Amino acid sequence: MNTKIILLGYMGSGKSTIGQLLAQKKQLRFIDLDTFIEEKEQNSVPEIFKTKGEIYFRKKEREYLNEILNLDESFVLALGGGTPCFGDTMQHITQKTPHTFYLCMTAKMLTLRLIPEKHKRPLVAHLSDEVMEEFINKHLFERNPFYRQANFTLHIDTLSPSEIVTMVEEKL
Ligand code: S3P
């Protein structure tokens, strides 16, 4: 039986960092969906948003997600922050694997982590630092119903990456 471990959560919650560490520890392939899209499209995520628009990005994101979910192998997959939040994507994901983990952080913590690297994220790049927390709060409220469909919700504000990896391992 293949083990497909999927990490999801808001931008800046550490999905890629935790995914890499976990994959290393479990000796599994690591796939970062944003990087997968960038390689396939030969373009960066901010450039795809800029030149082709968000709707095109979401369509491709869903296509490449399906391609990965259908792989006949074990892996750790870090989704993009918005991946589970459109159409029936989250249902589709949870049908494919019981190992889905929501890396849940408070808006306050996400704001602190996202401000220094917001230029990499087209959805928040245009926002001033002052309005970031309010935006993230509202956005999280909209997205939480999707994120919460994950099999496990891990509250990770005060945890180190290695503690988070251990928590995931305990639930496999
Ligand atoms: C997005 C999150 C990004 C990336 C794109 C859209 C979102 O991924 O997919 O900028 O809608 O939250 P990260 O969560 O890895 O930053």
Q: pLDDT band for position 116 (50/70/90)?
A: very high
d(CA 62, CA 84): 9
d(CA 59, CA 54): 9
d(CA 47, CA 45): 5
Ligand 1, residue 122: give the atom nearest the CA. 10
Q: What digits encode the pLDDT tens for the residues 126-165?
A: 999 999 999 999 999 999 999 999 999 999 999 999 999 9
Q: pLDDT band for position 1 (50/70/90)?
A: confident
d(CA 77, CA 84): 13
Q: pLDDT band for position 111 (50/70/90)?
A: very high
Average pLDDT over residues 13-24: 98
Three-state secondary structure call for residue 121: coil
Ligand 1, residue 82: give the atom nearest the CA. 11
> Is 146:6 a contact under the CB 8 Å cutoff?
no
Task: Say how many Å lie between the CA of residue 54 and the centre of ligand 1.
Answer: 11
Report which of 21, 114, 121 is spatially closest to residue 76, judged by C-alpha positions.
Answer: 21
Cβ neighbours of 112 (radius 10 Å):
14
Average pLDDT over residues 46-64: 98
> Is 104:13 a contact under the CB 8 Å cutoff?
yes
Identity of the amino acid at 134: E
Report which of 42, 111, 29, 141 is spatially closest to residue 78, judged by C-alpha positions.
Answer: 29
Identity of the amino acid at 109: M
Ligand 1, residue 46: give the atom nearest the CA. 10
d(CA 100, CA 164): 14
Which pLDDT belongs to residue 15?
98
Judged against a pLDDT cut of 90, whether residue 121 lies above it is answered with yes
Q: What digits encode the pLDDT tens for the residues 56-108?
A: 999 999 999 999 999 999 999 999 999 999 999 999 999 999 999 999 999 99
82 lines ligand 1 (CB under 6 A): yes
- In this structure, which residue's CA is closest to atom 15 in ligand 1? 80
